[in-house]
Amino acid sequence: MSGQTRKLIQKKLKIRGYSLKMDGLEEILSFVNRFQDAEDEAMDLLLDQLDHQSLKSSIIDKEAVHGVISLLLEAEAAEEEYPTSSRSSIRVVDAFLVPKFRYDPIKKHFFQHAGSLPIHGEASAKAALYRDRFLLLFQRVSRDQHFIKPAFDTDDETSQSCQLSPIQSLVGQRGRRWVMGVISQLEDGHFYLEDLTAAVEIDFSKAKITTGFFAENTIIVAEGEMLSEGIFQVITCGFPPLEDRDKSLKVFAGHDFFGGGTLTKEETLRLADLEKRAVNDMFVILSDIWLDNEQVMEKLETVLNGFESVEIVPSLFVFMGNFCSHPCNLSFHSFSSLRLHFGKLGRMIEAHPRLKEQSQFLFIPGPDDAGVLKYCLIIFACTLRELYLFRICLLLIISGPSTALPRCALPKYLTEEFQKHVPNAIFSSNPCRIKFYTQEIVFFRQDLLYRMRRSCLIPPSTEETDDPFEHLVATITHQSHLCPLPLFVQPIIWNYDHCLHLYPTPHTIILGDRSEQKAFKYTGITCFNPGSFAEDSTFVAYRPCSQEVEFSAL
């Protein structure tokens, strides 16, 4: 291995115009060997620093590299001395602060949206939602080796390329064609495939499909042929192929899709080294913490007691909603009571001093929890005397963004009693993102599995798996979207649809769902459901360093 490393060092230096003496090679090799599994990044970092030095000669000896290596090792030691700095600790990213990027198919580049994004978008924002989703996947597919257009014209029968055809070009064409589009129901009972050029009615009756839930709004790649009736007969059908995370990052280097900030090579190298040493870091994730249920609170206290007594306490507790056993809708009149229950939870955590001092607590609202807008509208509606205004307010409650995704953090009115006891607790949005050193982790609390199965247009394929959770994971990862349901099933704030994108693919996705505990590692992405703590007494202890999922239950 050291022989290969020597050759690689010499090659990289030669490319940059340097000659290398033996003592200089040994000095560089000693530095690079400190970073196992990251030798290439260490070399690039060292060479980048060398380029900024005023060297007397292009011949690199021990003296030339010793000073640069000393500076890099001092920076590493400083990072180790303060491992909980903002650049190396857990960083929570609220969904509403995730930067928005749009793909330009002409320039083949992403551009970041500048300016504010209103919650209530114009009609054009809805069209842009579908366009952005399609282009996000289309630019990914266009780099896939199976869909790259051949450099030279070849006979279609012998060519191995599955070149995509615009739907508009299908008119009058014979033979099989590959197309990509979104499944839409433009007429009752009639489904169409749409791209940016046209729409065509499709027939799935003879289609062979891949793993996943094929629902309205999902984007597919299909092989088929046009029938004389003007219907596209689908023969094989699947989701757009995935792209390796590292490849996506290299293609669009410098773009912060996740929202955790961009890192230099030096910072990435340091954080990767610290991440390897964080073997004791553990996240405890619980979903459905019903604060108004005494049995649930007793079980939660048992969990806290258990972790209070362990040698190394968890670094993070993630509490996902719902936080009440009853939906916080118009018939809910116990906001003051729920506020007191949060205060009770705060006192419970305060009674565990090790957890309070050494652990972080993150709260993510559930689908039936009160959002800021929903809470304000309900209180406002209850104080109105004018029937007309009351009806308008009621309509906003029912159809407004209170049930739409992404959901804002729990309102301060409910949480301020809790924060008196645990002031450093974090209340974030749903979905929510966490940057753990170099890892990107996404949390999403939604009863998604049941709704995806209900919205399925074709029975899922059982050729590869019959596990519904695995079908769900395949769907959201290939769609690069947390919730590819029709908007009439799950409303989404048009201008903030990008907050649900999964591009580039994160390292871990936690899907809080009322269904049973499940874990599935798919194409290197760790996905799991911690289960419902209120109903099944289940939760998960997750070790991000090794991406190990430990199922737990009382």
* Radius of gyration from C-alpha coordinates of the chain: 27
CATH number at residue 43: 1.10.8.60
Sign of the four-CA dihedral 112, 117, 122, 128: positive
Q: Are 167 and 200 in contact (CB under 8 A)?
A: yes
CA distance 508 to 524: 9
Residue 26: what pLDDT? 83
* Full residue range of the structural domain in which residue 308 is found: 245-251+265-446+490-553
CA distance 302 to 323: 18
- Condensed to tens digits (0 to 9), the pLDDT of residues 160-194 reads 567 899 999 998 788 899 999 999 998 888 999 99
For residue 227, what are the CA distances in angstroms to 67, 83, 168, 170, 232?
A: 72, 64, 15, 10, 6
User: Which DSSP symbol is given to 167?
Assistant: G
- Say what percent of the chain tops pLDDT 70: 88
Question: Count of domains in the chain?
Answer: 2
| pLDDT band, residue 9 (cuts 50/70/90) | confident
Q: Characterize the bridge pairing of strands 432-436 and 439-445.
A: antiparallel
Contacts of 45 (CB under 8 A, 6+ apart): 72, 265, 266, 269
Q: Are 335 and 417 in contact (CB under 8 A)?
A: no
* Lowest mean pLDDT, pick from 323-332, 372-381, 482-491: 372-381
Residue 263: what pLDDT? 81
Q: Structure tokens of 321? A: 């909603």
- Look at residue 90 and tell me if it is in a domain: no
Give the torsion through C-alpha atoms of 512, 321, 284, 296, to 10 deg: -120
- Condensed to tens digits (0 to 9), the pLDDT of residues 337-380 reads 999 999 999 999 999 999 999 999 999 999 999 875 444 444 44
Q: Structure tokens of 368? A: 């039936």
Q: Are 238 and 220 in contact (CB under 8 A)?
A: yes
Domain finish residue from 80, 114, 148: 80
Residue 39: what pLDDT? 76
> Mean per-residue pLDDT for 421-439?
95
- Per-residue pLDDT for 208 more than 80? yes
* Lowest mean pLDDT, pick from 86-95, 449-458, 477-486: 86-95
CA distance 401 to 414: 19
- Look at residue 97 and tell me if it is in a domain: no
DSSP 491-502: -B-GGGGGGGB-
- Condensed to tens digits (0 to 9), the pLDDT of residues 487-542 reads 999 999 999 999 999 999 999 999 999 999 999 999 999 999 999 999 999 999 99
Say if residue 156 is exposed, middle or buried (CB neighbours under 10 Å; 0-12, 13-18, 19+). Answer: exposed
- Name residue 320's beta-bridge partners: 287, 364
The residue whose two tokens read 């790259």 is: 148
Which helix H or strand E contains 274, and what residues bound it?
helix 265-277
| pLDDT band, residue 329 (cuts 50/70/90) | confident
- Which is nearest to 374 in space by CA: 328, 327, 420? 328
- Per-residue pLDDT for 238 more than 90? yes
Contacts of 434 (CB under 8 A, 6+ apart): 90, 91, 92, 93, 316, 362, 440, 441, 442, 443
CA distance 257 to 44: 24
- Look at residue 76 and tell me if it is in a domain: yes
Sign of the four-CA dihedral 301, 302, 305, 307: negative
- Look at residue 145 and tell me if it is in a domain: no
Residue 177: what pLDDT? 93
CA distance 514 to 299: 18
CA distance 177 to 234: 10
- Per-residue pLDDT for 395 more than 80? no
For residue 242, the Cα-to-chain-centroid distance in whole angstroms is 14
- Look at residue 99 and tell me if it is in a domain: no
Residue ranges of alpha helices (H) inside 309-411 are: 335-350, 353-358, 372-383, 387-399
Q: Are 446 and 371 in contact (CB under 8 A)?
A: no
- Look at residue 135 and tell me if it is in a domain: no
CA distance 97 to 90: 16
- Look at residue 2 and tell me if it is in a domain: yes
- Look at residue 156 and tell me if it is in a domain: no
Residue 4: what pLDDT? 79
- Condensed to tens digits (0 to 9), the pLDDT of residues 217-231 reads 999 999 999 998 999
Domain finish residue from 80, 110, 145: 80
CATH number at residue 296: 3.60.21.60
Domain finish residue from 59, 80, 101: 80
